[in-house]
Amino acid sequence: MLIESTVHLPISLAIFQDIFHAPNSEAFLRIFLRWAHFVAGITWIGLLYFFNLVNVPFQKALDPDTKKKVNPDLLSRALWYFRWGAVVTVLVGLAYFAMYTLKGDVNNANTIGGGDINLWWVLFAWLTYPIVLFIVEFLIIKKVAALTKDGRLFAIVMLVLVAIITWGLVKFFVGMLTAGGESWASNKTISIGVGGAYGMLMMLNVWGIIWPNNKRIIAATAGTGPAAPPELARQAFLASRTNAWLSLPMLLFMGTSHGDWVIFGKN
């Protein structure tokens, strides 16, 4: 009976040939990069929402003794996944953008449009936008107390800065990917280029403001470091709240990159 029951096994498995198709090496790499980007992004943004929607109001209800017992271990672990989730999300997304999205538009501009566009130069120039924006934001948070005392005023300032950078990025991609009198910048490249720039700024906020400030605050709370200046908590809060609000248009532009809504450029 055992032999009879297994004799048709190869025929049964053959049925799945029309259902399951193993990826080749290129497809596997693309799938792996997208998968890693999703997993790391869920970890990062999930913790971002936890900090802003749950932890901030929760901390206000804790007394100093409870904070000393709870915060060093809880926040140290959460911030570890938070900051490294940001790094993996951005680096993997950057690799995918360069290898498959931006490269396609550059190839079209060069082969069809007869241009001579360098992919790496476009990528480098694009990265200067979120870096410059972070430097301006960092100086405002650290040096201009008049703009950070009122969160609403700071939000308006950041909204204006982000709007200017967004406008500049759209113009940048249209201009940089113009060849033969026509722009080859696709909706996908511009959408991910704008959303990815927001993500880059958010990662810089994590490593440049949120984590350094919280590291000092946690050490002071645990009694393993000097007292933390009171302004550190406010600075970290502003950077974190900026990231929380910025994540919404970032995710929107990631969604528009799939062509359901051609918001920029060509489909």
Q: Which residues contact 199 (CB under 8 A, 6 or more apart)?
A: 89, 90, 93, 250
**Number of C-beta neighbours around residue 30 at 10 A:** 14
Q: Two tokens at 72?
A: 């060093």
Q: Two tokens at 255?
A: 């969604």
Helices 187-205/102-111 angle, 10° precision: 140
Residue 242, CA distances (Å) to 20, 52, 138, 162, 165 in order? 44, 10, 12, 11, 15
Residue 27's H or E segment, with its range, is helix 25-49
**pLDDT at position 10:** 64
Helix, strand, coil tally for the chain in percent (to 5): 80, 0, 15
Reading the chain (267 residues) residue by residue, the pLDDT tens digits are 445 555 565 656 566 666 777 788 888 999 999 999 999 999 999 999 999 999 999 998 999 899 889 999 999 999 999 999 999 999 999 999 999 999 999 999 999 999 999 999 999 999 999 999 999 999 999 999 999 999 999 999 999 999 999 999 999 999 999 999 999 999 999 999 999 999 999 999 999 999 999 999 999 998 888 999 999 999 999 999 999 999 999 999 999 888 766 667 666
**pLDDT at position 6:** 58
133: nearest Cα among 47, 187, 196, 79: 196
**pLDDT at position 75:** 94
**Number of C-beta neighbours around residue 214 at 10 A:** 25
Residue 71, CA distances (Å) to 79, 86, 218, 261 in order? 11, 21, 7, 44
CA dist 104 and 185 (Å) reads 9
Residue 253's H or E segment, with its range, is helix 231-256
The model's pTM is 0.90
